[in-house]
Amino acid sequence: MKTTLQIQPEGPFNLDLTIKSGQTSQPPWKFKSDRFWELIKVDGKLCLVGVHQKPGDLNGPIMVEAESKGPVKKDVLRSKLLEIFSLEDDLSELYKFLESDEKLKPTVDFCRGLRIFKAHDPFECIISSICSANNSILRWSRSIRKIKENWGENFDFKGETFHTFPSPEVLMKVPEHDEEMEPCQGQTYSLKSCGVGYRCSYMKKAARMIHEEINITTLGEMNYHDAFKTVLSIPGVGPKVADCILLYGYGIGRAFPVDVWIGRILSHLYFEGEDLKPRKVRNFGMEHFGEHAGYVQLYLFHYARKSGLLKTLKPKK
């Protein structure tokens, strides 16, 4: 069953940039025939959505086309997409803030319309974020894709198969190593074979905890500090991953995920290249950027990459 709708974002929105900017909430959506496609759950139903934006038209409407087994309520689909692409964030407010800081000012021209690309659901976000730790974007997105192909729900459309992310219960039961299972048509399907490395046991333990112990649906209602401490208790989740989860899974804008790159960038911009401990970078970011911290991190990283600044920042001398 087909559903179509239009969304008129408030302020600039760059769909292409947002999807491809390497945010660790999820790998880029599949691009085919002018649209980005992804299988998501809307109102509990599998729903393949295709989103289109006229190239270069940062202020134009977003055209949405969705295919589902049964009927899907338009307003539910609409709010899901508003959520995923953070379309209700007030970018003019953000840009006012960025322009008030000489160091942040240049990021705006490089990033106009870039928004936080949120995960489809908190569980997927937690596992994705654990998998992204100490990993490359390439390897991480490959792993997530394989996990979805191996254990997600399928949806066939026009000769292609799309996959959801598996539930906690499914993921906690998947085999860790190939030796644990019979080869199936010459192929094996273990979590290790997805290339997750030593993160394998963290991911399985996290899935078990979320299935049996922790209620992750109420995290969004907690204050930042309590939510941070709660996700920190999940195996494989340290400060960086915790902030990714809060930012991309729950839209908590004060979260400031600190990796080595954001550390080098802030050190270069504000500390004359001094070697900074991650703890100090995080405190500085949260104090100075406040509720914009998540966006500042996103904008600084993209700016540094596009402007060539990143290449000049050396991994200590």
Binding site for DNA (CB under 7 A): 133-136, 138-139, 192, 195-198, 202, 234-242, 259-261, 277, 315
In angstroms, what is the minimal distance from the CB of 277 to DNA? 6
Distance between CA atoms of residues 274 and 65, nearest Å: 50
- Tokens 């600190």, located at residue: 258
d(CA 48, CA 84): 14
Which one, 113 or 257, has the nearer CB to DNA? 257
Strand 45-52 to 62-68 pairing? antiparallel
**φ/ψ (deg, to 5) at 35:** -135, 160
User: For residues 100 and 136, which CB has a smaller minimum distance to DNA in the complex?
Assistant: 136
Counting Cβ atoms within 10 Å, is residue 167 exposed (0-12), middle (13-18) or buried (19+)? middle
Q: Tell me how far, at minimum, the Cβ of 229 lies from DNA, in Å.
A: 12
Residue closer to DNA, measured from CB, 175 or 239 = 239
Instruction: Provide the minimum distance between the beta carbon of 235 and DNA in the complex, in angstroms, as a whole number.
Output: 5
Indicate if 240 belongs to the active site. yes
Q: What is the DSSP letter of 195?
A: T
Half-sphere exposure of 166 (CA within 13 A, CB side): 23
Cα separation, 115 vs 122, in Å, equals: 18
Catalytic: which of 118, 148, 192, 240?
240
Instruction: Determine the Cα–Cα distance for residues 35 and 30; give it in Å rounded to an integer.
Output: 8
- Residue 129 CB, nearest approach to DNA (Å): 8
- Closest to DNA by CB, 45 vs 211, is 211
Question: Looking at the annotation, which residues are catalytic?
Answer: 240
